[in-house]
């Protein structure tokens, strides 16, 4: 009898020991993960990547149970992590706002927000059916706060469905709807307009795809299939920007739809009979019953207004930097976008960075360190106190403000990062209400 009891004690003791060892290593692993995440957060803060710049996940720590489902669902690296059993954001600036974490959280501890308690974001007034305070003008996509491809495609289609419900009677020489912007929301809305039998015109200030081409990576990540009007379900999880554009071009071509590119809408003017006049920078005017605005939040790149700026060698964003080789490049600007672009092409090109001030200010710490290293090793020629004054086919003129003289430099390509003209004024001129939101919770539209 005593032997049986002893055996039972040994068994129970072994089980307890194994459980203890398991718990010990589990807690140790958990602690290591927490320490690793804390270090990543510190680095993100040092590099200026901790603060959100657009839509981002806000975590309610009183509700979070630390399941890690949000981290598993996120296709991006080091956006979220676990510290002391609770989720936390890390490189929030790199979040692309797809909302996979929001949908994956089993206890609804995550909301998608825009703006923080200290930094507000200008957002237009948009109702649940995507209509603004001006009857007949609708907004979908990034401008309304919910960006990214799947969300924007969905909103473009839904906005058009709601617009159809309030469709005004067709009139001669009056277009049913003018769609402003040919990014994901604009393309979806254009296809949906065709599907619903509406007459439409789509105007894009740049090229087909809009803000998709401004994504800082060659691969575009989507977390779930999307329904593209007139095409059906699209399953693209890790596709390139070019492949996505090619898909859109294919669908647009098949349905004989025209997108008018390189045409910026200057104003939307309400006219008699509840119609609108759309005035463009090319002098074209369109009369329509309804308007859908699907432009990005970044607005229009600010131009320098100098001779030669309208030539093909000038760009306001850098696409596929890995393809740019053996060129003489001038980058204009002193902000993070200019610095990052110059750094991306310095190894395979001759790069001059022209900045109008005497030193850089408010750069992300990592960018500041990298540009200082590039100046030290002469991989980038930085000209402070300078202004680009003219652009020719094979050269540029840069004025040095200190001695008020201009110098000529051989040149193949110019990239200008002088900021942007935000769309706030454009919207307000059309009568659309715009308010600054702090930590605003984004909700799904119907």
> What are the pLDDT digits (tens) for 33-78?
888 899 999 988 877 788 887 788 999 999 999 999 999 988 778 8
Q: Residue 230's pLDDT is what?
A: 85
Q: Which of 193, 152, 153, 158 shows the shortest CA–CA distance to 176?
A: 193
8 A C-beta contact, residue 224 and residue 98: no
Q: Output Rg (C-alpha) for the chain, integer angstroms.
A: 27
Looking at the domain that runs over 2-114, which CATH code has it been given? 3.30.70.20
Asked if 110 and 58 touch (Cβ cutoff 8 Å), the reply is: yes
The arrangement of secondary structure in 122-299+423-441, i.e. its CATH architecture, is 3-Layer(bba) Sandwich (3.50)
Rounded to whole angstroms, how far apart are CA atoms 229 and 164?
A: 15
**Angle made by CA atoms 87, 119, 440, in degrees to the nearest 5:** 65
Which residue in 252, 168, 161, 248 sits closest to 212, CA to CA?
248
pTM of the model: 0.74
* End-to-end alpha carbon distance in the chain: 72
What pLDDT is stored for residue 4 in this prediction? 63
Q: In the prediction, which pLDDT does 406 show?
A: 87
Q: Are 135 and 432 in contact (CB under 8 A)?
A: no
pLDDT digits (tens, 9 = 90+) for 407-424: 999 999 999 998 877 788
Domains in the chain: boundaries? 2-114, 122-299+423-441, 314-420
Domains 2-114 and 314-420 share a fold: no
Query: pLDDT under 50 in the chain at which residues?
Result: 216, 445
SS (H, E, C) the chain: CHHHHHHHHHHHHHHHHHHHHHHHHHHHHHHHHHHHHHHHHHHHHHCCCCCCCCCEEEECCCCCCCCCHHHHHCCCCCCEEEECCEEEECCHHHCCCCCHHHHHCCCCCEEEEECCCCCCEEEECCCCCCECCCCCEEECCHHHCCCCHHHHHHHHHHHHHHHHHCCCCCECCEEEEEEECCCHHHHHHHHHHHHCCCCEEEECCCCCCHHHHHCCCCEEECCCCEEECCCEEECCCEEEHHHHHHHHHHHHHHCCCCEECCCCEEEEEEEHHHEEEEEECCCCEEEEEEEEECCCCCCEECCCCCCCCCCCCEECCCCCHHHCCCCEEEEECCCHHHHHHHHHHCCCCEEEEECCCCCCCCCCHHHHHHHHHHHHCCCCEEECCEEEEEECCCEEEEEECCCCEEEEEECCEEEECCCEECCHHHHHHCCCCEEEECCEECCCCC
Task: Please report, for residues 22, 32, 214, the alpha-carbon distance to residue 84 in angstroms, rounded to integers and kept in the order given.
Answer: 18, 10, 36
Contact assessment for residue 64 and residue 109, using Cβ atoms and an 8 Å cutoff: yes
Question: CATH for 314-420, among 3.20.20.150, 3.50.50.60, 3.10.290.10, 3.30.1380.10?
Answer: 3.50.50.60
pLDDT value of position 213: 60
CA distance 337 to 317: 9
CA–CA dist 410, 182 (Å, integer)? 36
Cα distance between residue 115 and residue 118, in whole Å: 8
With 0-12 CB in 10 A as exposed, 13-18 as middle and 19+ as buried, what is 76?
middle
């Amino acid at each position: 009898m005593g032997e049986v009891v002893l055996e039972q004690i040994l068994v129970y003791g072994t089980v307890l020991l194994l459980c203890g060892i398991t718990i010990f290593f589990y807690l140790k692993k958990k602690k290591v993960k927490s320490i690793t995440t804390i270090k990543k957060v510190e680095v993100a803060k040092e590099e200026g990547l901790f603060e959100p710049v657009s839509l981002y996940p806000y975590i309610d720590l009183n509700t979070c149970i630390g399941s890690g489902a949000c981290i598993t669902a996120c296709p991006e690296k080091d956006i979220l992590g676990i510290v002391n059993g609770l989720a936390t954001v890390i490189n929030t600036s790199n979040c692309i706002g797809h909302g996979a974490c929001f949908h994956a959280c089993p206890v609804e501890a995550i909301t998608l927000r825009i703006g923080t308690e200290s930094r507000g974001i200008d957002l237009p007034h948009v109702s649940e059916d995507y209509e603004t305070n001006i009857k007949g003008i609708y907004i979908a996509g990034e401008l309304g706060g919910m960006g990214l491809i799947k969300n924007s495609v969905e909103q473009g289609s839904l906005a058009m469905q709601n617009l159809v419900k309030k469709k005004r009677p067709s009139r001669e020489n009056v277009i049913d709807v003018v769609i402003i912007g040919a990014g994901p929301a604009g393309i979806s809305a254009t296809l949906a307009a065709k599907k619903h039998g509406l007459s439409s015109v789509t105007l894009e200030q740049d090229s087909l795809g809009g803000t998709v081409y401004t994504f800082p990576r060659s691969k575009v990540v989507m977390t779930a299939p999307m329904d593209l009007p007139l095409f059906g379900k699209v399953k693209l999880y890790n596709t390139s920007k070019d492949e996505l554009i090619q898909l859109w071009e294919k669908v647009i071509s098949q349905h004989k739809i025209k997108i008018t590119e390189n045409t910026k809408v200057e104003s939307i003017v309400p006219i008699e009979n509840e119609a609108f006049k759309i005035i463009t920078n090319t002098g074209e005017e369109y009369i329509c019953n309804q308007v859908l605005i699907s432009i990005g939040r970044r607005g229009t790149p600010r131009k320098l207004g100098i001779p030669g700026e309208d030539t093909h060698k000038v760009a306001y964003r850098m696409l596929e930097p890995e393809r740019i080789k053996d060129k003489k490049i001038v980058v204009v600007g002193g902000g993070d976008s200019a610095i990052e672009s110059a750094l991306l092409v310095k190894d395979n090109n001759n790069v001059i960075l022209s900045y109008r001030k005497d030193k850089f200010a408010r750069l992300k710490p990592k960018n500041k360190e990298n540009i200082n290293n590039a100046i030290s090793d002469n991989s980038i020629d930085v000209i402070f106190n300078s202004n680009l004054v003219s652009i020719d086919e094979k050269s540029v003129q840069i004025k040095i403000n200190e001695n008020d003289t201009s110098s000529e430099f051989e040149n193949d390509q110019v990239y200008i990062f002088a900021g942007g003209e935000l769309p706030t004024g454009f919207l307000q001129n059309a009568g659309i209400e715009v308010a600054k939101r702090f930590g605003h919770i984004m909700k799904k539209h119907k």
